[in-house]
Amino acid sequence: MISPLAYVDPDAKIGQNVDILPFAYIEKNVVIGDNCTIMAHASILSGTRMGSGNKVYQSAILGATPQDFKFKGEDTILKIGDNNTIREKVTINRATNREGITEIGNGCFLMEGVHIAHDTKVGNDCIIGNGSKIAGECILNDKSILSSGVILHQGCRVGSWTMIKGGCRSNKDIPPYIVAAHNPITYYGINAVIMARHGFNNEIIDNIAKAYRQIYQCSTSLPNAVKRIKEEIPMSPEIRSILDFIEHSERGIIALNKD
């Protein structure tokens, strides 16, 4: 159902069984997949490519031009996957250049007032809390959770199964499977409760804890901690994920909680 009070550009491609409520605004060069709901006063702007089963709430703005001085007015892309919930006043910018992309995966929940800047990539099943602000070119891996009011500096990475507590600000990478807290942001332990609820067995959780004990609690350098992990902890996809994340960190990882 498309309300006669909504504006839908004739060149927009709208899938089957899509509800577009009064006063929604859909520009040209937009693709909306099947079974989506676009609520009142939401704006879906040029360059947005949306999959199926998404729900976009009031006053959200998707595909806004990037807040980046390098942007020269090119036609660029925001890609949104399937089955996402995008709540009120969320803003997501499209990419700065044609070669780039801003991307949201599948099954994410973006709460009220979230901002996601240009060229950021959000994985699958992520939760981003009220008022969190994600700068450009960040990467949030699958299953990451940001509580309310989190601020990420440009280019930061967040590992899978990581939880960042409310109000944290980070200009460093935040490794997988941990809880991050405080300001300045610090390592606060592993995300054991969430992992256990989602089927991680005790042995895997224990090995993840041992790995982070080497990194954060053994008073040694990060290269030496990595060496000890490789020598002392059974290799698994989870341990490999930790090591790969550290190896590819350009900003460095967050520090230890010293309380």
B/e letters for 92-116, b = 16+ CB within 10 Å, e = fewer, are bbbbbeeebbbbbbbbbebbbbbbb
Q: Please indicate whether residue 47 is annotated as part of the active site.
A: no
Single out the catalytic residue among 119, 125, 129, 173: 119
The helix/strand/coil state of 36 is coil
Name residue 165's amino acid: K
> Six-digit token pair at 39?
């609520």
Helices 202-216, 237-247: axis angle to 10 degrees equals 30
Q: Please indicate whether residue 206 is annotated as part of the active site.
A: no
> Six-digit token pair at 6?
């909504």
Cβ–Cβ under 8 Å, residues 142 and 160: yes
Q: Please indicate whether residue 136 is annotated as part of the active site.
A: yes
Single out the catalytic residue among 115, 118, 125, 129: 118
Residue 91: which of 109, 108, 118, 113 has the closest Cα?
Answer: 113
Single out the catalytic residue among 115, 136, 159, 173: 136
> Six-digit token pair at 40?
């009142």
Cβ–Cβ under 8 Å, residues 3 and 19: no
Catalytic residue ranges: 118-119, 136
